[in-house]
Structure 1
Amino acid sequence: MDYAELPLPPALAGLVAAVWTLAASQPGWVEHEATPDGCVELIRRHAGRSEWRRDQPEFFATGLSDRPIRFGFSGDARFTAIKLWPWAWHALGGAPCPGFADDWIAVAPDSALAMLLQGDPVANLAGALASAVPPPLARAILASDSVATIAARTGLPHRRLQRIFARELGLAPRTYLRLLRFREALQDVQQGADTLAGTAAARGYADQAHMARDFRALAGMPPSNARARARGPFL
């Protein structure tokens, strides 16, 4: 498959993780794994068919998950998608994340969310999020590697953080941070600028074996295989 990410302006940092395009590059029905990364995907399929659990419409959104997702699409399928941090998804009027965790929901073609995927999605996002900024808790999440660090940066006790995460994300704080660390490690592994041991150390894993366990749980394969196969979040 042909996967590419569009450049994003600095103003969208902390709100939009990526805008990507994907086109099938082989005939017949194609199946891939999508790795979990702590984001909501707002997706438009321009052509072909796609399926995860059931057939998907032209516009849909995939929710947060803590495991790899196997999905399929036809050989003529083409997609454009926006990878949103959950707080940006909510700021744009998206449904509560816990309501479609580990699943997807249809998006009405005439909705404001679908309009973001018409024309130039990056320009559309810049306009729709012009007055938005990541809330303090979101900034703390993205800058932290532990729940204790989030608590220290926000002044919120652990139990309150657990309630907020359950209400807003449908995931425990520690689980969500695990996804963010894995997302960064997968990006590093794809770039191949460091050894696997170096990547594990840089991303805060106890050792390379610890990172390998996370890759097997969240990507379904060891880091060495992911390095060879991954295209963005897809394997």
Structure 2
Amino acid sequence: MLATRLIFVLSVVIGWTTACTPSDNSTSDIFIIGDDGPAPAETSGYFINHFGLLTTNLEVMKHFYGNVLGMRLMFEVHVTPEYSVTYMGHAQGGRNGTGFQTGTEMYREKNNLAGLLELVQFNVTDDSLVASTKRTNTFGHVGLIVPDIQETQDYLENHGIEILKRYGEPIQDFTGLIPNAFGLGEYAGAHIAAKKALMEAQGVIGIQLLLMVADPDGNLVEIQQQEQPAGAV
């Protein structure tokens, strides 16, 4: 069985390599490092400051991202009695325990921070918000870096957070919460051969090294260790 799996993975890799090889017969790898060169001079100083999630469950979301994942409340704006905007972030934009940590300090630097979370709530909406794990959409997941992924897994379990995929385990299913968020679940149709190829080849990008949970609204949170094992992407 193992030999069969190895042969299958090799055939997939060879197939991908062949498909990606330019017509001039130059070498090509499955994993390609970008060679864009310098960015346009006009974009000097650009960086992604925040990502936004719509919610009808604001207080529970604030608890998860704040009390569990350690983000600090920077500020809230109650635009109207029904509409609010909440900003949260890790200390100094992503490295908890370093630099400034109070809401006042972080608000002062809000336009110079990266990795912030914006929670937007319209608390009288009639719309039904569908998370990435429930229905494939253009938002996939939140990515979190941690110093020690095993300690993080234990910490989350101790706080009652359901682990959708444990560290060290591959993705096993073609349907379900994680496949939906990765765009290959039930909504991707019955493309079983393509899904099976991905399941067999997922070690190429180290999916088994990721820890996955969901926030209270069902958005996937993908967690990886800052220092990856040798050879991991």
Task: Name the TM-score, length of structure 1 as normaliser.
Answer: 0.29
Task: Name the TM-score, length of structure 2 as normaliser.
Answer: 0.30
Larger Rg: 2
Structure having the higher helix fraction is: 1
